[in-house]
Amino acid sequence: MTSAHIPTVKSLVSVWAALVVLTWTTVGVSYLELGELNVIVALAIAVFKASLVAWIFMGVRYSTQMTRLFVVAGLVWLSIMILITGGDYLTRGWDYQPQPWGNVKPMAANR
């Protein structure tokens, strides 16, 4: 039987402090006028925070390679879903513009 790794209190407190600092960084960045970069910066900070939680609190750091593979696969799938959703959101305003030759009658009707 293998023994599970128990993180030290120092590492847990330091990760907690980093999460608090990153949360306040997200709040601070939200007040800056970065335009469309606000969302990108906020998502980057959120991904980093989620990585810290998974790596330390959830114990992925000391897990098997198979567990790490499934964590990465889940993140890849989440990225795919975010990209698909973003693509849908960005193209919502597109309108169909019929081409001028779409109104031409068939040749048999011209006789």
108 confidence band (pLDDT: 50, 70, 90): low
Q: What is the DSSP string of 57-84?
A: IS-GGGS-HHHHHHHHHHHHHHHHHHHH
Residue pLDDT, tens place only, 4-35: 778 889 989 999 999 999 999 999 999 999 88
Distance CA 59, CA 61 (A): 5
Helical ranges in the chain per DSSP H: 9-30, 37-52, 65-90
Percentage with pLDDT > 70 across the chain:
86
Supply the range of the domain harboring residue 13: 7-62
85 confidence band (pLDDT: 50, 70, 90): very high
Provide the 10 A C-beta neighbour count for residue 56.
19
Distances (CA, A) of 80 to 56, 57, 67, 73, 77: 25, 25, 20, 11, 5
Give me the chain's average pLDDT, please.
85
Distance CA 13, CA 59 (A): 15
> Would residue 107 count as lying in a domain?
no
If asked whether residues 67 and 82 sit together in one domain, one would say yes
Number of folded domains that form the chain: 2
If asked whether residues 13 and 53 sit together in one domain, one would say yes
Question: Which pLDDT belongs to residue 2?
Answer: 56
If asked whether residues 24 and 48 sit together in one domain, one would say yes
pTM (2 d.p.)? 0.65
Average pLDDT, integer, range 35-64: 89
